[in-house]
A and B are shown apart, each in its own frame.
Chain A
Amino acid sequence: MTMSMTKPDRISAARRIAALRLPGRDARLGLLLIAPIVLVMGALVLLPLVLTAWDSLYRIDPMRAGTPFIGAANYINLASDPEVRAAAANTMWIVLLAVILETVGGVAFALLLQSMGPVRKWLLAAIILPWAMPSVVNSLIWSWMFNPSYGVLNAILHGLGLIPAGYVWSNDRTAALLIITIVHVWKMLPLTAVIMLAALQTIPMHLYEAAKIDGAGPIRTFFSITLPMTMGALAIAMTQSTVSAFNLFDEAWILGGASLDTRTLLIQVYMSAFQNLHMSYGMALSILVLIASLAVSLIYVARRRGETQGE
């Protein structure tokens, strides 16, 4: 259509393209389009975030009169609170175990998927399914399978002679934390597998062919080609594993409730604020959890920003 343009046509076309880049018009439309986003995010995330940090320096407790400024007292008390320490230790164990299992399992699942033919799509769907399910439902399904009297996994493990009859997992802290971690890994491992599968698919085939010609075995090939080529994706997968395990709430709440044996940091925040009504004490703890979580995600965000810089 541009072929038959007359001269004035061409001029007005150039003008219209220029209009696409008119700074004034763009600016007004751009600000209009993002206004609702700024409003929602500002009111519901940024403002509460600032309030959390601010209020954590006061004593806000509906059970006590006044809201005096107490400086870092909440933070100092947190450091010596045995409940907080127990919750922090529980969270650390869950994070450690979950990241190891999700990374090793996720990479193994991704390698398997990569080696599959046309049925890959269906196997992938089966693998993703637990990720898509509500963690509450997952927790209830697993707790039924680990039911001391009627659970199928208890029956199998008892049959193998690994546990006594009627074994109650929640009676032992290690066992209870292990079950919570397994339920969490069941849900989150698929994400690592999907991220790693996407990365595996970007490795050029000729690298593998060259390795084969050079006589490299599968293990050697994995460590000198597959792993180095997927390092970035692996870092992202591990970061998201860490952050999601760090912020674990649902599984521990359904399986262990308020029990100190399995209480995670976020359950501790929930308990202080909504059960014991020590509002600002809970806020101080959530600020600490945020800082720890941010420290971990920093690698992740830095990487993502690095990728978009080129645009």
Chain B
Amino acid sequence: MPKSRAIQPKKIFKGLFIAFVLIWSLGPIYWSINSSLMQPVDLLAQPPHAVPPAPTLAHYTGLLGLENAADNATGQSIWPQFRSATINSIVTAVAATLATIVLAALGGYAFARLHFPGRNIVFGLVVATLAVPGYTVIIPLYREMIALKLVDTYLGLTLIYVSAFLPLALWMMRSFFSGLPVVLEEAAAIDGAGRMRILFRIVLPLALPGLIAAGIITFLSVWQQFGIPLVFSPTAATKPLTVMIPELASRHDINYGLLNAAGILAIIPPFIVVFFLNRFLVQGLTAGTGK
């Protein structure tokens, strides 16, 4: 009988721990998918079904307007609402991410390489706002936005998101630029390249991983915003998914299948980022934490 085949208790413990981690992390998501594929009547079963006994895509086709599925409470199709909320989420997240990345790349380079009066004070002030919770300034910001007529507009929301997430992106980009060897830039200067040419032709391509990391952190942060649009997006004109989906639950007759399906559709972008841009995401999350 071959020895060393015996299962060690240490391995069993580790296996159990891995199982726990997977159930803890993915279990709720599985359950939401499971519920989103069930007929309304199956959702009320006791005990609950671990897999849909009669799977249906009705909730998804209803949300996406492929079928005339109606909101239980109002009897109207849910598609127009869901479509505008999805568009609003995508527009604000993309616009805020692009604006943040452009400002962070240009500013990060200036803070890392150029010498100008007040450089350290300005950078310190901007980064210090990382410690200011967004809600602290929300009341005067609201009055400011009303005065500028920017409440419930894409521009207003985008500006607020940029001001909220620029400090971290700027911090990350400055760290990336500072880490690049100056020699390359000097060599380009010898060849007669100006500052902006050096920035766009040499520095930015090298800092691309940092730029992507800052971009996806910003995108995910905007995508999940709830408090800001709750105040600044009162109507369907700019209301994002995060505000629209809970409204489905505040009706007296909640359709949990529909609610879960909407939630699952809303997590598709984060899901893509986590599984396909994982490397950049981890880099972004650990940036500046003293790794």
Asked if A40 contacts B162 (CB within 8 A), the reply is: yes
Interface residue? B1 (CB, 8 A): no
Report Cα–Cα, A201/B20, bound state, in Å: 23
Q: CB < 8 Å: which of B14, B111, B249 contacts A140?
A: B249
Interface residue? A227 (CB, 8 A): no
Asked if B288 contacts A304 (CB within 8 A), the reply is: yes
Q: Beyond A38-B122, A49-B137, A140-B249, is A125–B267 a contact (Cβ under 8 Å)?
A: no
Q: CB < 8 Å: which of A16, A19, A286 contacts B135?
A: A286
Asked if B35 contacts A133 (CB within 8 A), the reply is: no
Chain B contacts of A150 at CB under 8 A? 43-46, 48, 256
Q: CB < 8 Å: which of A2, A37, A151, A303 contacts B166?
A: A37
Q: CB < 8 Å: which of A108, A134, A194, A270 contacts B285?
A: A194
Interface residue? A142 (CB, 8 A): yes
Report Cα–Cα, A126/B23, bound state, in Å: 10
Chain B contacts of A41 at CB under 8 A? 125-126, 129, 163, 166-167
Look across to chain B and name the residue whose beta carbon is closest to the beta carbon of A218: B10
Asked if A115 contacts B14 (CB within 8 A), the reply is: yes
Q: Beyond A129-B274, A137-B245, is A29–B195 a contact (Cβ under 8 Å)?
A: yes
Q: How far is the CB of B272 from chain A (nearest CB, A)?
A: 10
Per-residue A-contact encoding for B119-137, CB less than 8 Å = 1, 0 else: 1001011111111110111
Interface residue? A127 (CB, 8 A): yes
Interface residue? A48 (CB, 8 A): yes
Interface residue? B189 (CB, 8 A): yes
Interface residue? B160 (CB, 8 A): yes
Look across to chain A and name the residue whose beta carbon is closest to the beta carbon of B34: A152
Q: CB < 8 Å: which of B22, B142, B224 contacts A133?
A: B224
Q: Beyond A40-B159, A45-B163, A137-B266, is A293–B288 a contact (Cβ under 8 Å)?
A: no
Chain B contacts of A86 at CB under 8 A? none
Q: CB < 8 Å: which of B196, B227, B246, B289 contacts A236?
A: B289
Q: Beyond A33-B107, A34-B107, A45-B163, is A293–B131 a contact (Cβ under 8 Å)?
A: yes
Report Cα–Cα, A167/B263, bound state, in Å: 25
Chain B contacts of A47 at CB under 8 A? 140, 144
Interface residues of B in 24-53 (CB under 8 A from A): 24-26, 28-29, 31-32, 35, 43-48
Interface residues of A in 122-142 (CB under 8 A from B): 123-130, 132-138, 140-142
Report Cα–Cα, A211/B44, bound state, in Å: 56
Interface residue? B185 (CB, 8 A): yes
Interface residue? A31 (CB, 8 A): yes
Asked if A33 contacts B106 (CB within 8 A), the reply is: yes
Chain A contacts of B185 at CB under 8 A? 20
Q: How far is the CB of B60 from chain A (nearest CB, A)?
A: 15
Look across to chain B and name the residue whose beta carbon is closest to the beta carbon of A235: B290
Asked if B220 contacts A132 (CB within 8 A), the reply is: yes
Size of the chain B interface, CB-CB below 8 angstroms: 99
Report Cα–Cα, A127/B24, bound state, in Å: 9
Q: Beyond A2-B190, A19-B189, A140-B259, is A44–B289 a contact (Cβ under 8 Å)?
A: no
Per-residue B-contact encoding for A1-32, CB less than 8 Å = 1, 0 else: 11000000000010011011101011111110
Interface residue? B181 (CB, 8 A): no
Q: Beyond A2-B190, A123-B18, A198-B286, is A26–B249 a contact (Cβ under 8 Å)?
A: no
Interface residue? B291 (CB, 8 A): yes
Q: CB < 8 Å: which of A31, A194, A283 contacts B282?
A: A194
Q: How far is the CB of A245 from chain B (nearest CB, A)?
A: 12
Interface residue? A254 (CB, 8 A): yes
Look across to chain B and name the residue whose beta carbon is closest to the beta carbon of A257: B250
Q: How far is the CB of A14 from chain B (nearest CB, A)?
A: 9
B residues neighboring A (CB under 8 Å): 14, 17-18, 21-22, 24-26, 28-29, 31-32, 35, 43-48, 103, 106-107, 109-111, 114-117, 119, 122, 124-133, 135-142, 144, 159-160, 162-163, 166-167, 170, 175, 178, 185-186, 189-192, 195-196, 220, 223-224, 226-227, 231, 241-243, 245-246, 249, 256, 259-260, 263, 266-267, 270-271, 273-275, 278, 281-282, 285-286, 288-291
Which 8 pairs from chain A and chain B are nearest by CB?
A30-B114, A30-B116, A132-B270, A134-B224, A44-B163, A48-B137, A297-B131, A48-B140
A residues neighboring B (CB under 8 Å): 1-2, 13, 16-17, 19-21, 23, 25-31, 33-34, 36-38, 40-41, 43-49, 51-52, 55, 108-109, 112, 115, 121, 123-130, 132-138, 140-145, 147, 149-152, 155, 159, 186, 190-191, 194-195, 198-199, 201-202, 232-233, 236-237, 243, 246-247, 249-250, 253-254, 266, 269-270, 273-274, 279, 282-283, 286-287, 289-290, 293-294, 297-298, 300-301, 303-305, 307-308, 311
